[in-house]
């Protein structure tokens, strides 16, 4: 499959900071079309900075970044890149522009100069994808956090992007909202075949990803399937990440001599324990 | 209680009033507001009131929402009523007790002032109840479009207005939250004189400002991420056009204007 996101030696320094350490230090990220990649890292690991490079909100200080085959450092490509790589941010309140849901979702297509008749169609298509079709005429401030974040996702979807970047999009939500948004993300990846880049520090959210990229201090430290990454205890320790409850229990059981194999979710954990009990 | 402010409160609906071109509503509201100052007969007031009541009925907004719209000015209306009642002198005295004197002219004038005030607010309330802020700013943008030829930033101002409206509830909520947080730590917003009260607001305003600036930065980033690139080449989802109902509305308001202009 084709690589839709490719960075080569991507280095970025924030101007305001003393140049002791760049926020990104020679990052080579590759994402194939249709892939679900989770970028895991602690605060200050550079994961959000990396995300902002994908849709040209930031351009590399050194190295190159190609999104959908286009060089992000070329001014003329910027609009096309942002159209094909939409971004959902952390705070749902701070990314909603309009006072009515459908008008907010229309903001992207309006900016792109989409014909008026097509906008409404795109808006409701996008709202239905995130299960918010009935809320088109509502006011965003009357919605729950999870619903607001889904409206924000619809706002991105209305531009027909190939890639959707989620920059800590669940970190301000309650557990219910988080579940809603994660279900939406999975749907968009599996059914709508969108390429997903999920930036997070919650390991639980990376369980469904095809690949997990772990970042420490502006570098990609390791990558692999969630199963492979979750097993590497000292890597997670160094990255300042807390492994999910299930995989932690499985690991500790193994330490005590009960090998129940890999467990990423609670269901898998229960399954594993039952199986090993039956064997005995 | 802090959420009671209904500024720009839009009541979504599908009535003919809702579907009217926002430009029509904007212009007619302005006309009404101006004309209310010229009315000096009961028939004139009756006409304007009838027109507004008719609008409210057709729009199916519901009396409660209309009442909520004019509720904030009721204390002011009462205040002006009392002031006018006692201070406007006239000839026909209907009540006198020591230095207090109420005259028929004073009573008449006070009632008229209150009616005028209520009608003014009612006309703008009807507009904001039936028009979404986005439609309103779009209408304003289109009406002021000619000004952009001389370098007036029409699109930017319209966008700023709609964003300001969008953030009113968010910032109100935040104010409420900060107030509660400060109260929980012993801050007192209720007691003391004017100066003490003003000073008590500092720990409220500083965090509010800081967060408003952060929100502005976030929003700018989010808008950029959604391909915002200024007003050039933008389209609109809902562009209203003049229909028959707009003509009717113009005719209805025109009729009222004529009645008033004829001196009734």
pLDDT of residue B5: 46
Condensed to tens digits (0 to 9), the pLDDT of residues B210-223 reads 999 999 999 999 99
CB spacing of A94 vs B218 below 8 angstroms: yes
Dist. CA B166–CA B176, nearest whole Å: 17
Please report which confidence band the pLDDT of residue A210 belongs to, taking 50, 70 and 90 as the band edges.
very high
Locate the chain B residue with the closest alpha carbon to A56: B225
Q: What is the mean pLDDT of residues B12-18?
A: 86
Locate the chain B residue with the closest alpha carbon to A85: B225
CB spacing of B228 vs A111 below 8 angstroms: yes
CB spacing of A155 vs B221 below 8 angstroms: no
Other beta carbons less than 10 A from residue A200's beta carbon:
23
CB spacing of A57 vs B222 below 8 angstroms: no
Dist. CA A267–CA A269, nearest whole Å: 5
Name the residue facing B235 among A96, A116, A137 (closest C-beta).
Answer: A116
A3 pLDDT above the threshold of 80 = yes
Please report which confidence band the pLDDT of residue B6 belongs to, taking 50, 70 and 90 as the band edges.
very low
φ and ψ of B222, to 5 deg? -65, -40
Condensed to tens digits (0 to 9), the pLDDT of residues B89-147 reads 777 777 777 777 788 888 888 998 899 999 999 998 898 888 877 788 888 888 998 98
pLDDT of residue B208: 93
Q: What is the ipTM, given to two decimal places?
A: 0.86
Q: How far is CA A106 from CA A119, A124, A153, A280, B251, in A?
A: 7, 9, 12, 60, 34
Measured at the CA of B134, the angle between CA B129 and CA B137, to 5 degrees, comes to 100
Condensed to tens digits (0 to 9), the pLDDT of residues A83-120 reads 999 999 999 999 999 888 998 999 999 999 999 889 99
Which residues neighbour B251 within 8 Å (Cβ) at sequence distance 6 or greater? none
For residue B167, the distance in angstroms to the closest alpha carbon of chain A comes to 9
The pTM assigned to this predicted structure is 0.80
Nearest partner of B128 among B34, B5, B257, judged by Cα? B5
Please report which confidence band the pLDDT of residue A184 belongs to, taking 50, 70 and 90 as the band edges.
very high
Q: Name the A residues in 113-152 with CB < 8 Å from any B CB.
A: 113-116, 119-120, 123, 137-139, 141
Q: Give percent above pLDDT 70 in chain A.
A: 98
Beta bridge partners of A85: A163
φ and ψ of A5, to 5 deg? -125, 130
Condensed to tens digits (0 to 9), the pLDDT of residues B162-213 reads 888 888 888 888 999 999 998 898 888 777 788 888 888 888 899 999 999 9
| Mean pLDDT across chain A | 90
Dist. CA A213–CA B45, nearest whole Å: 71
Condensed to tens digits (0 to 9), the pLDDT of residues B231-248 reads 788 888 877 788 888 898
Beta bridge partners of A39: A199, A213
Dist. CA B233–CA B12, nearest whole Å: 29
Nearest partner of A272 among A249, A255, A243, judged by Cα? A249
């Amino acid at each position: 499959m084709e690589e839709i996101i490719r960075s080569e030696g991507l280095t970025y320094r924030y101007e305001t900071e003393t140049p002791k350490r760049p926020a990104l230090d020679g990052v080579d990220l590759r994402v194939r079309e249709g892939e679900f990649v989770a970028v895991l890292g602690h605060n200050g690991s550079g994961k959000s900075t990396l995300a902002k490079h994908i849709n040209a909100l930031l351009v590399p200080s050194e190295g190159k970044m190609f999104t959908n085959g286009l060089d992000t450092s070329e001014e003329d490509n910027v609009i096309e890149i942002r159209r094909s790589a939409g971004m959902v941010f952390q705070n749902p309140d701070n990314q909603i522009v309009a006072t009515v849901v459908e008008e907010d979702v229309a903001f992207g297509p309006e900016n792109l100069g989409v014909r008026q008749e097509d906008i409404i169609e795109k808006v409701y298509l996008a709202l239905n994808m995130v299960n918010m079709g009935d809320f088109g005429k509502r006011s965003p401030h009357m919605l729950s956090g999870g619903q607001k974040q889904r409206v924000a996702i619809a706002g991105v979807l209305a531009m027909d992007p190939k890639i959707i970047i989620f920059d800590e999009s669940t970190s301000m939500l309650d557990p219910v909202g988080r579940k809603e948004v994660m279900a939406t993300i999975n749907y968009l990846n599996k059914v709508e075949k969108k390429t997903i880049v999920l930036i997070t520090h919650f390991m639980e959210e990376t369980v469904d990803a095809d690949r997990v990229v772990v970042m420490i201090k502006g570098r990609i430290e390791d990558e692999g399937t969630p199963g492979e990454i979750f097993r590497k205890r000292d890597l997670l320790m160094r990255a300042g990440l807390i492994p999910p409850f299930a995989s932690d229990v499985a690991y500790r059981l193994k330490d005590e001599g009960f090998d129940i194999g890999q467990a990423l979710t609670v269901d898998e954990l229960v399954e594993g324990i039952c199986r090993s009990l039956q064997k005995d | 209680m802090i959420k009671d402010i209904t500024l720009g409160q839009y009541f979504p609906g599908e009535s003919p009033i809702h579907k009217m071109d926002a430009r029509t509503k904007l212009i007619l509201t302005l006309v009404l507001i101006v004309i209310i100052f010229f009315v000096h007969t009961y028939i004139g007031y009756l006409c304007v009131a009838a027109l507004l009541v008719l609008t409210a009925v057709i729009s199916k907004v519901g009396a409660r929402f209309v009442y909520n719209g004019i509720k904030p000015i009721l204390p002011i209306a009462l205040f002006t009523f009392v002031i006018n009642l006692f201070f406007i002198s006239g000839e026909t005295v209907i009540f006198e007790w020591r230095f207090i004197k109420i005259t028929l002219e004073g009573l008449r004038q006070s009632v008229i002032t209150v009616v005028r005030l209520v009608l003014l607010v009612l006309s703008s309330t009807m507009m904001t109840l039936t028009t979404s802020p986005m439609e309103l700013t779009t209408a304003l943008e289109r009406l002021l479009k000619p000004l952009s030829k001389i370098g007036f930033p029409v699109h930017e101002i319209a966008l700023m207005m709609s964003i300001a409206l969008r953030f009113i509830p968010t910032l109100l909520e935040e104010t409420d939250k900060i107030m509660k947080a400060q109260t929980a730590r012993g801050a007192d917003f209720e007691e003391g004189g004017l100066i003490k009260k003003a000073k008590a607001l500092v720990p409220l305003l500083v965090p509010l400002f800081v967060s408003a600036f952060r929100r502005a930065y976030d929003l700018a980033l989010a808008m950029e991420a959604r391909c915002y690139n200024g007003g050039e080449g933008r389209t609109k989802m809902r562009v209203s056009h003049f229909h028959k109902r707009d003509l009717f509305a113009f005719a209805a308001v025109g009729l009222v204007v004529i009645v008033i202009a004829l001196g009734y």
